[in-house]
Amino acid sequence: MNNNKNTVGNKKSYWGYVAGVCAILYAAPHLWWGLGIDFAFPGKYTSASNNFWSVAIGFWGMGFVAVLAALFCLSFVRPWGKKIPSLLLVIPGWVSAAGLTFWGLGYFYLRFFSDINRGLHLL
């Protein structure tokens, strides 16, 4: 008898691994850009800010948050993640999803109004 309640080792766990790998693929370049390696940098690396906080947040901060996101994804499919109460996994997931949604919508809102030359007086 197949017990589908546990997704560890099940085909459903494939997507948890895919999400974890995607998060690591996002984290890796940010961390090596923080080290000063310009491989795969979009545009000219010399045009990036050398301000301490820009590097700390833009490269190191985003890289480490992405590593945490990879661990978060793996917590849904690995046995050690089953020991964590489900609310401690679901609530941060929903909060992160809502935050990223508003971040993306805000970006497109600002890009749209800057392209039509409106709303710039607010900045």
| pLDDT at 41 > cutoff 90 | no
CA pair distance 113, 67, nearest whole angstrom: 34
How far apart CA 110 and CA 123 sit, in angstroms, is 10
Whether residue 21 has pLDDT greater than 90: yes
pLDDT at 25 (0 to 100)? 92
CA distance 96 to 73: 12
* Domain parsing of the chain, residue ranges: 9-83, 85-123
HSE-up (13 A, CA, CB side) for residue 20? 14
Q: Which residues contact 40 (CB under 8 A, 6 or more apart)?
A: 29
Most distant pair of Cα atoms in the chain: their distance: 66
* pLDDT, mean over the chain: 80
pLDDT band for position 1 (50/70/90)?
very low
N-terminal to C-terminal alpha carbon distance within the chain: 62
pLDDT digits (tens, 9 = 90+) for 98-123: 988 888 888 788 777 777 776 555 55
Query: What pLDDT is recorded for position 123?
Result: 53
